Structure 1
């Protein structure tokens, strides 16, 4: 079930001005309220297991939504939701993930050893809120952005996708998307909706009133909910290095150690499972384009396998 969140994304809209406002907490309450109401009208599936999922910025709101549902169940709010866990792709969690762009870019040879060492020395590990008075750091950051500007941030092996921000392009058919590999994959995923859906791209501000979501992962782990966290390993958006760092800081023991998972007989990524019922997996691609699957022909199959690796017993082989 895909509601399209927050409001004004997907097929959702608001009839009154207040409903069109956006904030992290408003989104949490709207999703919780919607899901309970939706299940009232679909009681034939009340016993079905429920997993809540999202990606990118949803990494801030999804764990909070899961906790809200859990607390509602504990308070006896009806209908009861058979909540089992959640899954997140390239999830923003600490809002500090961009600090890992520099070591990632160096490891992928997008920047030179000299620039990397200079960035470390002059910026002292702070690459997000750069002090404008620090001329050396600012100079190095400018060199970094110049070196990486030719890459698609979602998939660094692809060229940068340029969007036309003119007023005439604010509404367009999906057929008119830029023809970058990641966008072609998006078109293929859209399938039969390609010709019937158009995209409206207004800027609607969102109040970021949930600072980080890390503590909610901790709470949900204590309650025994399952989680699958997966990251593309060729994207500069919400880097897997940052995701690995906060997962590692949970300090949970490993029950199924680092190993490959396969699709179509090829290594598609690596995975590890922790004692708090959390599974982490990498995907050897961005989350919008998979080079292991030419022209995106098996993308649906690849992502179904991603989900499977999180829900099976440990040490049952490497084939997902």
Structure 2
């Protein structure tokens, strides 16, 4: 790491002190990866991979750490993990926030090629991508560690983060943000509260938490399910008459409906029929099906059937107007299960035999239905918060996100307005405040679930402005 900061002497003292305090109990295990199969030349950024052993389930948590391409001494550190539950942080690294992307245009089978993506969040922050919970991606644990729950996921992520920062004390003074998307919107606020609680209790080392970032976050089961019906109507997928009938028969509550509520149940069945063939991740994109398993292979086809609702046609469709967004997901299976790639990433042999982008077979039990109370508690802690949604997402509709934010009863300091990238409307935003707590909510125009997969450049600009305290 380059010198050039007035804090360098302090950092070195802290570094040496923490080494003395924790070196007996913590083993260093990361490796610098300078090149990757399928990438031309050396990597133009610093990538480290490794494992951290945690006591919760005696799990080995795998991570990718990419040092900021800007000023790693001063730039924030962002912990990022994906939703699912069971989706690898590889999603963030190659599809959303990271500096790598698959070359889709020239793929004709074999090992997929990657290239450097310039609008990476690592241009302005160091990002620690972790496969969480155990059983996700390359993270693993013994059979007695399961099932995993929402609260156990939060415990695993928190212990991982604390141990990683102890192993890497150079980053303890950097501003820290917790980031997650989709289903991990449930566990991430629990992680944030745990950090604050331990900081308040004087647990050392103190983590320099500044805020959190959530993309299309699942937050409250009832609000999320209700918002799907409202959103479907607003977007013209459901007629006025059917929506009005359902609203009356269900009394405006569409979750946990049983057959005993006959009229409501029938109305919801009609609504489901209207949206059944809609791609929930992005309502304007096709819901694709398989035409052929070639050139990917039967194992990839089976994995993707578990991975997502909509699959893709063969790669021959990539040059037509009927290109499927999920085509690129198949490449992740080919890439991460390639032995040369695994060797470059220093994956432990015999630990994860069959990597999946989203492991739907993970033994998971939901034990938290709402984290609104966590957000209410955090709204008293003076944090900087960014919440964002794609406006074509039917998995976590923006309507629901706006609804639970209003429940926090924050003061609007910058009302609803458009935000721009290159002079064009990139979405809409509103900013709230409460006793030092700052929450920015933003939509990304034309994006689905998760927004970065569809509008990567715009999402970088959003993140870059937020992380450096510039308004959208």
Return the TM-score normalized by structure 1: 0.85
CA contact under 8 A between 1:233 and 1:286: conserved in structure 2? yes
Distance 1:185 1:279 in 2: 31
Distance 2:432 2:245 in 1: 36
Per-residue CA distance 1:118-166 (angstroms, 9 max, x = gap)? 11122221211113022222221111111111111010001224589xx
Cα distance, 1:309 vs structure 2: 4.3
Larger mean CA deviation between 57-66 and 17-26 belongs to 17-26
The 1:161/1:264 distance shift into structure 2, 3 A limit, reads farther
Q: Which runs of 5+ in 2 are unaligned?
A: 1-127, 292-297, 314-322, 343-354
Residue aligned with 1:310, SS:
helix
Cα distance, 1:213 vs structure 2: 0.8
Cα distance, 1:185 vs structure 2: 6.3
Alignment-derived partner of residue 418 in structure 2: 260
Aligned Cα RMSD in Å?
A: 3.0
Residue aligned with 2:203, SS:
coil
CA contact under 8 A between 1:51 and 1:83: conserved in structure 2? yes
The 1:202/1:56 distance shift into structure 2, 3 A limit, reads closer
Aligned residue runs from structure 1 range 217-228, under 5 A: 217-228=375-386
Q: How many corresponding residue pairs?
A: 305
Alignment-derived partner of residue 304 in structure 1: 460
The 1:163/1:129 distance shift into structure 2, 3 A limit, reads farther
Alignment-derived partner of residue 183 in structure 2: 57
Alignment-derived partner of residue 237 in structure 1: 395
Which of the residues 238, 254, 259 maps onto 1:111?
Answer: 238
Alignment-derived partner of residue 281 in structure 1: 442
Cα distance, 1:238 vs structure 2: 1.6
CA contact under 8 A between 2:136 and 2:362: conserved in structure 1? no
CA contact under 8 A between 1:154 and 1:235: conserved in structure 2? yes
Return the TM-score normalized by structure 2: 0.59
Per-residue CA distance 1:205-230 (angstroms, 9 max, x = gap)? 32222231111111111011111111
Which of the residues 180, 205, 211 maps onto 1:79?
Answer: 205
Distance 1:63 1:182 in 2: 30
Alignment-derived partner of residue 95 in structure 1: 221
Alignment-derived partner of residue 149 in structure 1: 276
Alignment-derived partner of residue 326 in structure 2: 183
Distance 1:155 1:230 in 2: 15
Distance 2:375 2:226 in 1: 21
Residue aligned with 1:182, SS:
coil
Residue aligned with 1:86, SS:
strand
Higher helix share: 1
Cα distance, 1:171 vs structure 2: 4.0
CA contact under 8 A between 1:90 and 1:238: conserved in structure 2? yes
Cα distance, 1:313 vs structure 2: 5.0
Question: Which structure has the larger Rg?
Answer: 2
Cα distance, 1:78 vs structure 2: 2.4
Cα distance, 1:279 vs structure 2: 0.7
Per-residue CA distance 1:224-278 (angstroms, 9 max, x = gap)? 1111111111111121111111111212111111111122332111111111301
